[in-house]
Amino acid sequence: MTDSDYIATLSYEEKIIFLKIFCCLVRADGKIDADEISFLKNIAARYGVDNATIVGIIKEPHINYVAEAQKIRNRQHALQLVKEMCVLANIDNNLADAELDIVIDSARAMGVEDEKIVLINRWVLDSLILTKTGEVIMEQNNG
């Protein structure tokens, strides 16, 4: 299932849940870098959620991400959320303990097995490395 496939199957409420958990991740290590902001903007655009809603979510003082994750009952949606969380956690040059807490607790709240989390994380890392390498080779990045 491609990104556009799974997004089309999410309800508006599920999209908001996803975005809330992403915002928790972004705030988890205490710093927000350009890649994370870019990820949030990009994903909000893909989800069809306006910037004002995103800003409102980012500003929300406390989000109970476990309670939010428990509302995701669809297995495919749960796996996609784990995947997106792994992307966000690994895309910067730091993997904070707090980020891993959010990934693991949210995944477990959705009934995703630990072994599956490990596999998805490995796959996401490999994909990110290949994508970024391709960008360098094809001279598509600014670095």
Considering only 11, 38, 94, 140, the residue that binds another protein (CB under 8 A) is 94
Does 139 participate in binding another protein (rule CB under 8 A)?
no
Nearest to 81 by CA among 8, 32, 21, 125: 21
Burial (CB count <10 Å: 0-12, 13-18, 19+), residue 49: middle
- Alpha-carbon distance of 83 to 81, in angstroms, equals 5
Go through the chain and tell me how many residues it has.
143
Residues of this chain, 2-61, that bind another protein according to CB under 8 A: none
- What's the min distance (Å) between Cβ of 77 and another protein? 21
> Candidates 41-49, 50-58, 68-76, 86-94 — which segment interacts with another protein by CB under 8 A?
86-94
Residues of this chain, 95-134, that bind another protein according to CB under 8 A: 95, 97, 100-101, 103-104, 114-115, 117-118, 121-122, 125, 128-130, 132-133
At residue 48, the 3 state secondary structure works out as coil
State which residue, 10 or 78, has the beta carbon closest to another protein. Answer: 78
Helices (H), the chain: 3-9, 12-28, 34-47, 51-59, 65-70, 75-90, 97-109, 114-137
Considering only 90, 102, 106, 110, the residue that binds another protein (CB under 8 A) is 90
Write out the DSSP string of 70-84. HT---HHHHHHHHHH
State which residue, 47 or 90, has the beta carbon closest to another protein. Answer: 90
Footprint of another protein (CB under 8 A): 90-95, 97, 100-101, 103-104, 114-115, 117-118, 121-122, 125, 128-130, 132-133, 136-137, 143
